[in-house]
């Protein structure tokens, strides 16, 4: 049960990380769309937040495979990114005109200012939704890091599975013993046949050896 929970949590974490990655890409694209190249507060913040999200997503995806230390890195980067996004949302909620005017002047280019203001007005609510998704991802990371135990693949067999494995190994051992005994018997029979054929053709080994010794002894004396 614990292993199933750990596996399901890891899968949920990776799904959430995919959305985090998409959020990072969206923030970078939006920052460059509002102002290209980004140089004022809001566009720069969007690009910075997107970059941090991309880096945190890599750590989160790696850490979702129960890499405890990597999850700590994800919690640090992801938490920092979430706090910055909350600060950006608050700035867009309570200092909206000031932020928009730094990007485009309403007196010099009213049409462009209205466009930027509309984009930022939509962005603050979208970013607020991003924060909710990231808080969920951070919660999953906290559970994987501190609550859910890491899956132990070699110790996760139940009693029935262990008994089945033991029975299979015992049967395999018996088959190996039978095969070894049969092979030994066949080898002995083959050896006896070869020895009998050699004896029939060249005579008994002991008598042949005695004749050779006697001949060698005579030749030495002569």
Residue with the larger pLDDT of the pair 214 and 16: 16
As a whole number of angstroms, the distance between CA 206 and CA 192 comes to 16
Whether 172 has a pLDDT exceeding 90, the answer reads no
Mean pLDDT value across residues 5-27: 84
> Mean pLDDT over all residues of the chain?
80
Per-residue pLDDT tens over the stretch 69-121: 888 899 999 999 999 999 999 999 999 999 999 898 888 888 999 999 999 99
Domain segments of the chain as ranges: 2-147, 159-221
The pTM of the whole model exceeds 0.75: no
Per-residue pLDDT tens over the stretch 117-156: 999 999 999 999 999 999 999 988 888 888 776 555 444 4
C-alpha to C-alpha distances, 64 to 8, 59, 149, 217, 218, nearest whole angstrom: 11, 8, 12, 86, 89
pLDDT at 175: 74
As a whole number of angstroms, the distance between CA 63 and CA 60 comes to 5
Contact 50, 24 (CB under 8 A): yes
């Amino acid at each position: 049960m614990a292993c199933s929970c750990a596996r399901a949590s890891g899968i949920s974490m990776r799904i959430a990380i995919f959305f985090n990655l998409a959020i990072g890409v969206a923030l970078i694209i939006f920052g460059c769309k509002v102002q290209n190249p980004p140089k004022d507060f809001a566009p720069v913040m969007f690009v910075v937040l997107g970059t941090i999200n991309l880096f945190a997503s890599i750590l989160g995806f790696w850490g979702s495979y129960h890499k405890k230390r990597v999850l700590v890195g994800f919690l640090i980067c992801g938490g920092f990114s979430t706090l910055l996004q909350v600060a950006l949302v608050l700035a867009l909620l309570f200092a909206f005109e000031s932020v928009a005017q730094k990007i485009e002047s309403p007196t010099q280019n009213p049409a462009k200012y209205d466009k930027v203001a509309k984009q930022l007005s939509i962005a603050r609510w979208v970013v607020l939704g991003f924060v909710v998704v990231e808080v969920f991802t951070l919660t999953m990371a906290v559970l994987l890091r501190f609550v859910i135990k890491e899956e132990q693949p070699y110790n996760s067999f139940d009693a029935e599975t262990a008994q089945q494995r033991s029975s299979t190994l015992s049967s395999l051992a018996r088959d190996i013993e039978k095969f070894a005994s049969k092979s030994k018997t066949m080898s002995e029979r083959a050896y006896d046949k070869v020895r009998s054929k050699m004896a029939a053709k060249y005579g008994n080994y002991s008598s042949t050896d005695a004749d050779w010794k006697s001949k060698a002894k005579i030749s030495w004396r002569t």
